[in-house]
Amino acid sequence: MNKKPQPVSLIIMGKEYRIVCDPEEQDDLIYSAQQLDVQMRKMRDSGKITGPDRIAVMAALNLAHELQLVKNQNTALNQRLNECLIKLSHKIEIVLDNP
């Protein structure tokens, strides 16, 4: 049985945001909000970036960049895995064809 989406209260840079999401996604949403809050506070505390809008944009850019790096790594790992599986498959075929 599907559970109804529920509102979750998140605090980011001292402001409360209520987001509705599925119950099974709540822990990930809370963790993501905490990570965003940490990153935004670091930027604010460094004094290099001022204004909540600019801080939010820079934090979003940093997180998007990190996500892109992970996606690129994942693509490379998948490619290497596929190459290994193809080689393994060929070896298995050779062994099965030559009893």
Per-residue pLDDT tens digits for 43-73: 999 988 889 899 999 999 999 999 999 999 9
> Sorting pLDDT into bands at 50, 70 and 90, what band is 3?
confident
pLDDT for 81 beyond 60: yes
Residue 79 class from Cβ within 10 Å (0-12 exposed, 13-18 middle, 19+ buried)? Answer: exposed
Q: What is the pLDDT of residues 5-37, one digit of tens each?
A: 999 999 999 999 999 999 999 999 999 999 999
Structural domain boundaries in the chain: 6-97
Quote the tokens at residue 40.
Answer: 């935004």
pLDDT for 1 beyond 60: no
> Sorting pLDDT into bands at 50, 70 and 90, what band is 2?
low
Please count the other Cβ atoms lying within 10 Å of the Cβ belonging to residue 87: 10
Report the top-level CATH class of 6-97.
Answer: alpha beta
**Hey, what amino acid is at 85?**
L
